[in-house]
Copies of this chain bind each other. A is one copy, B any other.
Amino acid sequence: MAPKKAGVLGATGSVGQRFILLLSEHPDFELSVLGASSRSAGKKYGDAVTWKQTSLLPESASQVPVSECTVEAFKDCDIVFSGLDAEYAGPIEKAFVEAGLAVVSNAKNYRREADVPLIVPIVNAEHLSVVENKVKAAKAKGEKTGFIVCISNCSTAGLVAPLKPLTEKYGPIDLLTTTTLQAISGAGFSPGIPGIDILDNIVPYISGEEEKMEWETKKILGSTNQDGSKFVPLSDDEIKVSAQCNRVAVSDGHTECISLRFKNRPAPSVEEVKQTLREYVCDAFKLGCHSAPKQTIHVLEQNDRPQPRLDRDRDAGYGVSVGRIREDPVLDFKMVVLSHNTVIGAAGAGVLIAEILAAKNVI
């Protein structure tokens, strides 16, 4: 199968750079259009970007001329990945969808739209059915339709990973708390978090993050309506979610101390919880997607794990690690979840979403 033509919006930013790394040697995609601000447009990508990745800028990408973020420039793309800042993403992504393009976006702008899937690809790939239905309906009419799929917030991704198999097996979780210790890469690098704020320090606040976690969790664990065209998030009565978010001196990898209560009694045992997490196989893996983790959730038994430096790269960052699963005196269980924020929580998730869309012939 010929690789799909892929475009990247916001290509010089931190999320855009990660998209380029992941796509430049990807078997399913061909890096074809790189879009950035008009300041960069016209330059070779290698000259326009301040490359800040720990892997070298792929020579092939380096030579690509940067385009403006216009429909015209991207019109031949099979899939467009958006790493645009929220400040710019709104009208650009909208125009792309209206022009019939398929967009996978890391921006927050359309996450709450009722017909836009908000996806953690190892968790709720089935929510892509809403765009699948739309695309197939259009095809049946001989038409083409654009659509957008949103990547979840980075810290939401780690939180919901263990919840999916647990709720599937043991029914609803009605109370959920998480305290996050988030890596600085999530804040980008122009300038991102100032060094003086993070050296020998913690910043116990990330603007908008707690609200995102509390709301996105409800959509991701929620369902679709009867005709499969819209999402129905869990209500505040069904689940109460409380997040406390901190920025810490870690480069990559969000750690979360979570606590949860099941609605149904009796709750499962610690051993059952572990077993369920271990046995969980995400749909992306079943579909044979290239980037899908072989082991979706790694249940760690050493009492001082997961640790970001040691565990964030499991399954190239697509696997989530869960440790210290134990009973909680206040709710039912507490545990520590580690996920790679720039992989399963951002660009990496976007690429895996596109792999799923390709596997399902949606793109």
Residues on the B chain within 8 Å of A55, using CB: 313
Beyond A195-B198, A214-B329, A249-B248, whether A181 also contacts B181 by CB under 8 A is yes
**B175 near A330: Cβ-Cβ < 8 Å:** yes
Asked if A328 is at the interface of the complex by the 8 Å CB criterion, the answer is yes
The A199-247 residues at the B interface (CB cut-off 8 A) are 199-205, 214, 236, 240-242, 244, 246
Asked if A257 is at the interface of the complex by the 8 Å CB criterion, the answer is yes
Residues on the B chain within 8 Å of A304, using CB: 203-205
26 A-B residue contacts at CB 8 Å? A53-B310, A54-B309, A55-B313, A176-B330, A181-B181, A184-B195, A185-B196, A187-B195, A189-B197, A193-B195, A194-B194, A195-B198, A197-B307, A200-B309, A201-B250, A201-B308, A202-B250, A203-B304, A205-B303, A205-B304, A240-B330, A242-B259, A242-B331, A244-B257, A244-B324, A246-B255
A210 to chain B, nearest CB (A): 9
A323 to chain B, nearest CB (A): 7
Asked if A145 is at the interface of the complex by the 8 Å CB criterion, the answer is no
A345 to chain B, nearest CB (A): 16
- Per the bound structure, the CA–CA distance linking A197 and B204 in Å amounts to 21
Option from B177, B192, B214, B305 in Cβ contact (under 8 Å) with A194: B192
Residues on the B chain within 8 Å of A340, using CB: none
Asked if A334 is at the interface of the complex by the 8 Å CB criterion, the answer is yes
Asked if A264 is at the interface of the complex by the 8 Å CB criterion, the answer is no
Question: What copy number does this chain have within its complex?
Answer: 4
A75 to chain B, nearest CB (A): 35
Asked if A7 is at the interface of the complex by the 8 Å CB criterion, the answer is no
A281 to chain B, nearest CB (A): 19
**A246 near B257: Cβ-Cβ < 8 Å:** yes
**A307 near B196: Cβ-Cβ < 8 Å:** no
Asked if A191 is at the interface of the complex by the 8 Å CB criterion, the answer is yes
0/1 interface trace, chain A 164-185, chain B, CB 8 Å (1 if under):
0000000000011101010011
Residue of B nearest to A188 (CB): B196
Beyond A177-B177, A194-B192, A196-B52, whether A203 also contacts B257 by CB under 8 A is no
Residues on the B chain within 8 Å of A250, using CB: 199-202, 249
- Per the bound structure, the CA–CA distance linking A331 and B241 in Å amounts to 10
Residues on the B chain within 8 Å of A240, using CB: 329-330
The A85-115 residues at the B interface (CB cut-off 8 A) are none
Asked if A314 is at the interface of the complex by the 8 Å CB criterion, the answer is yes
Residues on the B chain within 8 Å of A200, using CB: 199-200, 249-251, 308-309
**B196 near A192: Cβ-Cβ < 8 Å:** yes
